[in-house]
Structure 1
Amino acid sequence: MTTLMPVEPATLTGRAVRLEPLSQDHCDALIAAVRDGEIWRHWYTTAPEPERMAADVDRRLGLLAEKSMLPFTVFDAGGKAVGMTSYMAIDRKHWRVEIGSTWLARGAQRTGINTEAKLLLLTHAFETLDCIAVELRTHALNFQSRKAIERLGAKLDGVLRNHQRARNGTLRDTCVYSIIQSEWPTIRAHLQWQVDKPQPGA
């Protein structure tokens, strides 16, 4: 009988960020976060509009109940909710996950929060869940996201052309990146160095 990868909510804690299992109790704080920079107006992102936040939280919690997603609320070092992220497209049979459905408030961008959050998620995926690979996907025209993914050390597997329709009706080409198990020790060391190095102005 094939052993299935366990899928259980967990809190992942670093120095500058805490990833806590998503809850409807976080909804008001997440509405405030998404309004910082009006993140939902970026046509290539998946951030929900403030009035749809509760529905989006319900959607993610429904996928959690189906064991196809592990959603998190992103908190900064001061305990303020600054965004969301998830393990998604969970393949329990083949021990693979995708990190996605991620957005951060404008004030949390370029602060090191995203890098440490990815370090926490990748560490949990490879060292606790024992994943064989972790995927990251983004819109082909979301160059900020593509650069951030490439800085992690992920490699481009390919581009899914006309992969899906965006909210505005346009067709999206999706860039698919991945990190495989054998690459993880080197990438872990690289990410830890990025997290540990002094931040500008510190």
Structure 2
Amino acid sequence: MTKPTIGPVTLSDTHVTLAPLEHAHHDGLVEAAQTGELWRLWYTTVPSPEGMTAEIDRRLKLQEAGSMVPFTVFGADGRIEGMTTYMNVDRANQRVEIGSTWYASRVHRTPLNTQAKRLLLGHAFEVLDCIAVEFRTHFFNRQSRRAIERLGAKLDGVLRNHQVLADGTLRDTVVYSVLPHEWPTVKRHLTSLLEYRPD
């Protein structure tokens, strides 16, 4: 049986559209990153305005290599609000990680992220037949950890001294996942958040 192809696709809901990343999105991505100067957070990796071209190039090269599917995140008004990806694509084992995600600070605590994650998880389980979807974040990125846990992902563990960051510090990586049998309940949970407590 042929496994579904993991490649560029557009996913859309009422508050968000995830479109394949293009160089034409550069200026909108720079403007989004400047909202809150997100690249200054030491425990996360958000491209600076001057580094945006290189980051787009990096993601598109990983897409060509088959290990990433990068998206530009658009809000309901068509404004660019950030980036996200399927990354560490493992076609043989039908696994992906949802990561390398950042949003303009103006859309934090809005329905955008919840809908984006529901779209990405839905596509991974319902179209790509993934057997696991991972989320990873820096141990000190408390905001990201809370957001991942709020989605309904389960903690797998912590990879100690997992990476050496650009400033020389060591990153402990917290790993979460959602499995196919959990997806119906997680999907219902995300829908409930959007219906009753938008975030």
TM-score by length of 1: 0.95
| 1:112-145 Cα deviation digits (max 9, x unpaired) | 1111100000000000111000000000111110
Alpha-carbon offset, residue 197 of structure 1: 2.1
Please give the residue correspondences for 1:38-57 in structure 2 after superposition, counting only pairs within 5 Å.
Answer: 38-57=37-56
| 1:126-170 Cα deviation digits (max 9, x unpaired) | 001110000000001111100000001111101000000122211
Alpha-carbon offset, residue 99 of structure 1: 0.2
Structure-2 separation of matches of 1:9 and 1:59 = 16
Aligned to 2:90: 91
Please give the residue correspondences for 1:50-199 in structure 2 after superposition, counting only pairs within 5 Å.
Answer: 50-197=49-196, 199=198
* Preserved contact between residue 4 and residue 127 of structure 2 (Cα < 8 Å): no
Structure-2 separation of matches of 1:88 and 1:105 = 21
Identity of aligned residues (%): 57
Structure-1 separation of matches of 2:137 and 2:89 = 17
Structure-1 separation of matches of 2:151 and 2:81 = 21
Letter in 2 for 1:109: H
Structure-1 separation of matches of 2:4 and 2:99 = 19
| RMSD between aligned residues | 1.3
Letter in 1 for 2:101: T
Structure-2 separation of matches of 1:162 and 1:39 = 24
Aligned to 1:17: 16
| 1:81-121 Cα deviation digits (max 9, x unpaired) | 01000000000001000000000111011111111100000
| 1:49-104 Cα deviation digits (max 9, x unpaired) | 11010110011000111111000000000000010000000000010000000001
* Preserved contact between residue 28 and residue 80 of structure 2 (Cα < 8 Å): yes
Aligned length: 199
Alpha-carbon offset, residue 46 of structure 1: 1.4
Structure-2 separation of matches of 1:37 and 1:198 = 24
Task: In structure 1, list runs of 5 or more residues that go unmatched.
Answer: none
Could you say what secondary structure the match of 1:168 adopts? coil
Name the CA shift for 1:185/1:37 in 2 (closer, same or farther; >3 Å).
same
Alpha-carbon offset, residue 37 of structure 1: 0.2
* Preserved contact between residue 43 and residue 167 of structure 1 (Cα < 8 Å): no
